[in-house]
Amino acid sequence: MDGHNRADLKPGMTVDIVLKADQRTGRLTRGVVARLLTKSPTHPHGIKVMLEDGQVGRVQRILPPGEAH
């Protein structure tokens, strides 16, 4: 699942995000969603979230529960 639909995301899910600093390289960072920051129902570049460790980025992939970490 990609992270373009806000309805697909909720706090506690494990996701891969791209940080602002990594947008050129596309390097992904894995973490657990703490807060959803994008208010619109969809976003073409991914819904912006804050991870539990405070990092902020746009969701590129939502991991299935069994594949987390």
Residue extents of the structural domains in the chain? 6-67
Confidence of residue 2 (pLDDT cuts 50, 70, 90): confident
Residue 28 Cα distances to 16, 57, 62, angstroms = 6, 9, 12
**What pTM was estimated for this model as a whole?**
0.91
The CATH class that applies to domain 6-67 reads: mainly beta
> Among 19, 20, 51, which residue's Cα sits nearest to residue 35?
51
Q: Quote the pLDDT of residue 48.
A: 98
pLDDT tens for 7-65 read 999 999 999 999 999 999 999 999 999 999 999 999 999 999 999 999 999 999 999 98
pLDDT for the residue 66: 76
Residue 17 is predicted with a pLDDT of 97
